[in-house]
Structure 1
Amino acid sequence: MKRAVIVGAGIAGLATALRLGQDGWHTLVVERAPARRSSGYLVNLLGAGYDAAERIGLLPALSDRQLGLFTTVLVRADGRPKFTVPSAIAEAALGKRTMSVFRGDLETALYEAVRDRTEVRFGTTVASVDQDADGVRVLLSDGTTADADLLIGADGVHSATRTAAFGSGHRVDLPYVVAAFPLVHPVAGVPESSATTFIGPGRTAAIVNLGPQRSSAFFTYRCADPGSDLRRGPVDALSATFGDLGAGVPDAIRHLEKDPADAYFDSVSQVVMPRWSAGRIVLLGDAAWCVTLFAGHGAALALAGADQLGAALRRHDDNIPAALAEWEAGLRPEVTKRQALARRGMHQYAPPSQFHVWMNDLAIRAITLPGVRGLVRRGIERTSR
């Protein structure tokens, strides 16, 4: 029986454990956090990500958790609406093979699918790694040692596995901060089954109201010194940057004050590496290729990466280096494309000027025109393959 140690119990790590377990691998997942974490931002599964979720058997578990489509209202700073993008526009653009869920629900579905097939150790890190042509030995922070055929680093954009195996310097930090958190109760000023979105120079705020336990807030903004804002914490930083807005934003920030630890709050970075593997150590997900939230395909790429890694390992059986090389060659073009799209997308989420805001508004309004919807759908289908 082949064995793998997987570092990280997020989407990438759990999906990899599930996929390898389906081929008979024995997997051990170690996670630095003391318990499972969840965050409330919305992720879209489409293209290769949707296909992967289907192949590894996740769709039935996600069917009750999917959020469906909703109306989006673009608003001014005081909350007055500019124009509305009906849910039918998203349906026409995205097509049938797509699903929107909260990240925490996706992680829960993965965890429930894999918990009886793998060992998960929370509050555990990798202390040291030794590898040779025949295997890898991993010393864990709890004092135990695990011998494996493969070590998989799926521990996110700040990956300790990446630093230990490949050195530093692969993370490209960008001058933006992002925050996302669930809303137990919908906030005032946002109609039910809709989202209100404010896009202004250098910042975006979006509040999604899909009912109790199904609502969330998302913020991103350009920041000259992200580290300083991260030290201030999400409540102070978001209050200073978005405190002048209406449309549910004040209530959302007050909600966050009750439990700031509930927020995903971080600087924005991409990870750019010449190789994702070295011998029997491989990186996957944000640890290898973080595309940022601006790309909108992070969860989909994590699922697709896990599924395709499993398929490559099955094809090559005992030749792990050959499997990793084939896997990377097949996936890297899609990652490169998504990272480039994310860099362009920064101007959509944090427009440099009011002129760029106006141009964004024109582009969004154009999507609502009947003749444009088909073009958008075909463009999304092409970029999702």
Structure 2
Amino acid sequence: MDMESVEDIVIVGAGIAGLGTSLALHRLGLRSLVLEASDELRVTGFALTMWYNAWKALDALGVGDALRRKHLPLDGTVFSSSETGSTLSQISYQGKGKYGNRETRCVKRKVLLETLAEELPQGTIRFCSKVSSIAEDGYLKVLHLADGSIVKTKVLIGCDGVNSAVAKWLRLANLVSSGRSAIRGMAECRKPHDFPPKFLQFFGNGFRSGFIPCDGNNIYWFFTFPSTSPQYEDIRREASKMKRFVLDNLGEVPQQVVEVVENTDLHNIISSPLRLRWPWNVIWGENCKGNVCVAGDALHPMTPDLGQGGCSALEDSVILAKCLAEALLVGTQSINSKYEEDEYGKIKRGLEKFVKERKWRGFALVATAYVLGMTQQSNGTVMKFARDKLLSAYLAGLVPKMADYDCGNLN
């Protein structure tokens, strides 16, 4: 490996946003280098709900059909009380929204990342490349990596998640705790399951859970709870205790749901705190500076209550690539030429256009997810009554409303 190299575009992080942005740029004829700190694609969280806005982006990237073949379509969401077992409201995915079909599937994160990576040219992803510091050399950004090598780039995009080094360089606001944590699991069935093709959600007693089939043999689930729970510190490092905690607090749910948790192997259970950047910081923060910007969780980290973290990262990928293409698809010249200043200005305007287009969308997603999660998990008497008797249909309607979005094609 060369100890120093110069690139047109460097993306930090080979997650959904990083790989999606690199692939979108590739589809538009622009090469990028993706730096990933780990030695392979990192797969945490097992699976994620891909709402209709995500499928618009996946189709734009050219990988939608490959993922459809491996994941079941879902019919709808059913919201139920885990205190009484009664159904509170339902959402059907049939019919069309403002931007077309309301297609929804639960996609395995590993399959999604591998599908995106396989479409990239060989050598696009450089593993074991942890960024230790960021400096400047004229218009270029200089990345010092942990292995001692140096990468200089005309464009730097931080897609390195909630603990983004690029976001820290931009001095974006720190993340805050939502006061809640999540336990996630994947039940791998040895024979085909008979779980309904629906997203089943339950809330009550201060807890919230969800169960979604990915395919004929795998069911993804989550369980969110207050981080102030007395058992939290005791359970968060041991999968066996996490599993017991979930089973003890599921409440009035169907036996089929209980069996999903019971049949989940311990190595398929993880726990993590739910954090976010306050939505007003998404609007007021300096999300780009010159030829540097962030996307995905680095730009708008949110709680998972809308299931829009991965979906919005894919939206970012397509829109960012289009904004950059407008700036860069004019040919290249020597870095030392007068053209460099013009190119820098175009890149700057392209990134500013991306941030301007995404900030209100990010604000709405972060704010809605936070309010929805807090409302659904509230254990106060008044809030529970309002939620279950008055607001259930409205709250359920927020999910399809926020998913009805089209990021456009890569033209």
TM-score, normalisation: structure 2: 0.77
Where 1:123 maps in the other structure, the secondary structure is coil
Deviation at 1:308, TM superposition (A): 1.0
Report the Cα distance in structure 1 between the residues aligned to 2:209 and 2:299, rounded to whole angstroms: 28
Give the aligned partner of residue 337 of structure 1: 364
Q: Does 1:270 align with 2:276?
A: yes
Moved more, 321-330 or 338-347: 338-347
Where 1:178 maps in the other structure, the secondary structure is strand
Q: Which of 283, 297, 304 is 2:308 aligned to?
A: 297
Q: Aligned-pair RMSD on alpha carbons?
A: 3.5
Where 1:291 maps in the other structure, the secondary structure is coil
- Deviation per CA, 1:149-204, whole angstroms, max 9, x where unpaired? 112111111223322x1347421221010222221118999844345433112111
Residues 363 and 46 of structure 1, relative CA distance in 2, 3 Å threshold: farther
Q: Does 1:145 align with 2:150?
A: yes
Report the Cα distance in structure 2 between the residues aligned to 1:205 and 1:53, rounded to whole angstroms: 27
Residues 65 and 360 of structure 1, relative CA distance in 2, 3 Å threshold: farther
Deviation at 1:41, TM superposition (A): 3.1
Deviation at 1:295, TM superposition (A): 3.0
Give the aligned partner of residue 29 of structure 1: 34
Where 1:91 maps in the other structure, the secondary structure is coil
Where 2:129 maps in the other structure, the secondary structure is coil
Q: Which of 87, 91, 94 is 2:94 aligned to?
A: 91
Residues 314 and 193 of structure 1, relative CA distance in 2, 3 Å threshold: closer
Give the aligned partner of residue 117 of structure 2: 111
Q: Is the 8 A contact 2:108 2:214 kept in 1?
A: no
Report the identity percentage.
21
Report the Cα distance in structure 1 between the residues aligned to 2:209 and 2:143, rounded to whole angstroms: 43
Q: Which of 312, 335, 347 is 2:323 aligned to?
A: 312
Deviation at 1:98, TM superposition (A): 2.9
Q: Is the 8 A contact 2:236 2:271 kept in 1?
A: no
Amino acid at match of 2:93: A
Moved more, 312-321 or 227-236: 227-236
Q: Is the 8 A contact 1:277 1:324 kept in 2?
A: yes
Q: Does 1:282 align with 2:254?
A: no
Residues 12 and 323 of structure 1, relative CA distance in 2, 3 Å threshold: same
TM-score, normalisation: structure 1: 0.82
Q: Is the 8 A contact 1:190 1:208 kept in 2?
A: no
Where 1:68 maps in the other structure, the secondary structure is coil
Residues 34 and 225 of structure 1, relative CA distance in 2, 3 Å threshold: farther
Report the Cα distance in structure 2 between the residues aligned to 1:71 and 1:150, rounded to whole angstroms: 41
Report the Cα distance in structure 1 between the residues aligned to 2:177 and 2:47, rounded to whole angstroms: 21
Written as runs of structure 1 = structure 2, the 5 A alignment for 1:58-137 is 58-70=63-75, 77=82, 81-83=85-87, 89-92=92-95, 96-104=101-109, 105-114=111-120, 116-137=121-142
Report the Cα distance in structure 1 between the residues aligned to 2:87 and 2:269, rounded to whole angstroms: 29
Q: Is the 8 A contact 1:73 1:83 kept in 2?
A: yes
Q: Is the 8 A contact 1:93 1:377 kept in 2?
A: no
Give the aligned partner of residue 384 of structure 1: 405
Amino acid at match of 2:219: S
- Deviation per CA, 1:187-234, whole angstroms, max 9, x where unpaired? 999844345433112111223346543311111112227983685345
Moved more, 131-140 or 206-215: 206-215
Where 1:307 maps in the other structure, the secondary structure is helix
Q: Is the 8 A contact 1:188 1:251 kept in 2?
A: no
Give the aligned partner of residue 370 of structure 1: none
Deviation at 1:345, TM superposition (A): 0.6
Report the Cα distance in structure 2 between the residues aligned to 1:2 and 1:230, rounded to whole angstroms: 45
Give the aligned partner of residue 182 of structure 2: 178
Give the aligned partner of residue 258 of structure 1: 266
Residues 44 and 156 of structure 1, relative CA distance in 2, 3 Å threshold: same
Residues 230 and 337 of structure 1, relative CA distance in 2, 3 Å threshold: farther
Give the aligned partner of residue 193 of structure 1: 197
Q: How many residues align?
A: 371
Deviation at 1:357, TM superposition (A): 4.0
Deviation at 1:309, TM superposition (A): 1.0
Where 1:243 maps in the other structure, the secondary structure is helix
Report the Cα distance in structure 2 between the residues aligned to 1:240 and 1:292, rounded to whole angstroms: 21
